[in-house]
Amino acid sequence: MKKVFLTAKLPEVAIKKLKRNNLEINSYDEDELISHEDLLENVPNVDFLITTLSTIVDKDIIDAAPKLKLIANFGAGFNNIDTKYAKSMGILVTNTPKVSTNSVCELTIGLILALSHRIVEGDQQMRQSGFPGWSPLYFLGNEIAGKELGIVGLGNIGSELARKANALGMNVSYFAPHQLTDPEERSLKVTYKSFDELIETSDYISINAPLTPQTHHQFSENVFKKMKRTASLINVGRGPIVDENALLGALRTNEIAGAALDVYENEPEFDHEFSKLKNVILTPHIGNATVEARNAMANIVADNVILLDQEEIPKFIIN
């Protein structure tokens, strides 16, 4: 019987599917993240490894698993895996793209609305000091209709975000390595801008790009100086795209109006200085934390294990 190791608790749909296909399942069921040492101890006899974005699968892990045939990553990203070394050892790596698109976009819109209407700040005030009474200038925020949303990275998530933002009356611009064709831009109702132009004109900027050497610390001190003082940054992409020290400085000195972060430069750690600022919303990487998205991701990783076990080609191979 082939063995599968899960580095974290998965939705039950994946467990049931794997069991129905006569696979032996072992999993790390603690609430905290699995350590590198614990993972090393659990992989020597494993045929298939299902892992999460927070678990590093490096050369040492791969070398410790001589029977390993597949690393099925539970997430769209795969920066946590040494994909090149895995390929050199004949190990396939897969991910779970597309299925979290709607969930991430809904969260992004929620964060934009929460920033603009000061929802989190208002909730905190009600819990701490209460409501002094309605008055014309009390607790003013801003409407998002008519404002410009600049999207950095226009893949599946960025494109769907553009559709949702348009439905709310926002004007959408984007920056991406490759400009869309004119019909594609007209279909999505988006305007291409250079990176510099986008950061200078946008009222809200959403980071939806992958982490690459080119995007690492793309949002730096110099970038924040060029943004509108009334602009807000939303990062639901990858934490290291933002220089968090520079962002803290920009927020403290009101170079930009606010920020909403769902991903962090050194996850799961984050700089607690952000929590002291009223113009920041912090969420614990919940972009695809919906029942619908996580069940879809669970089905993909289970299906890929089963496909390879049956000597068929798994889906979404990235190496």
Is residue 74, in this structure, part of any structural domain at all?
yes
Is residue 317, in this structure, part of any structural domain at all?
no
> Which pLDDT tens digit goes with each residue over 119-143?
999 999 999 999 989 999 999 999 9
Is residue 319, in this structure, part of any structural domain at all?
no
The answer to whether residues 156 and 276 belong to one domain is yes
Is residue 315, in this structure, part of any structural domain at all?
no
pTM summary value: 0.90
pLDDT greater than 90 at residue 278:
yes
Helices 12-20 and 291-309: crossing angle in degrees, nearest 10, is: 20
Confidence at residue 1, expressed as pLDDT on a 0 to 100 scale = 85
The answer to whether residues 151 and 7 belong to one domain is no
Residue positions annotated with a catalytic role: 238, 267, 285
Confidence at residue 77, expressed as pLDDT on a 0 to 100 scale = 83
The answer to whether residues 63 and 157 belong to one domain is no
Is residue 263, in this structure, part of any structural domain at all?
yes
The answer to whether residues 111 and 234 belong to one domain is yes
What is the band of 193 on the pLDDT scale with cuts at 50, 70, 90? very high
The answer to whether residues 200 and 255 belong to one domain is yes
Is residue 47, in this structure, part of any structural domain at all?
yes
Q: What angle do CA 88, 216, 97 make, to 5 degrees?
A: 60
The answer to whether residues 171 and 224 belong to one domain is yes
Both structure tokens of 210:
């992958």
Cα separation, 124 vs 119, in Å, equals: 9
Both structure tokens of 120:
């989190």
Is residue 59, in this structure, part of any structural domain at all?
yes
Domain encompassing residue 94 = 3-99+291-309
The answer to whether residues 74 and 118 belong to one domain is no
If one counts the domains in the chain, the total is 2
> Which pLDDT tens digit goes with each residue over 221-238?
999 999 999 999 999 999
Is residue 318, in this structure, part of any structural domain at all?
no
CA–CA distances in Å: residue 310 to residues 19, 23, 182: 14, 11, 44
CATH number, position 30: 3.40.50.720
The answer to whether residues 66 and 202 belong to one domain is no
What is the band of 292 on the pLDDT scale with cuts at 50, 70, 90? very high
- Which of 28-32, 217-221, 274-278, 297-301 is the least confident region? 28-32
Percentage of the chain lying above the pLDDT 90 cut: 94
The answer to whether residues 171 and 58 belong to one domain is no
The answer to whether residues 217 and 194 belong to one domain is yes
213 φ, ψ (degrees, to nearest 5):
-55, -30
The answer to whether residues 277 and 139 belong to one domain is yes
The answer to whether residues 129 and 68 belong to one domain is no
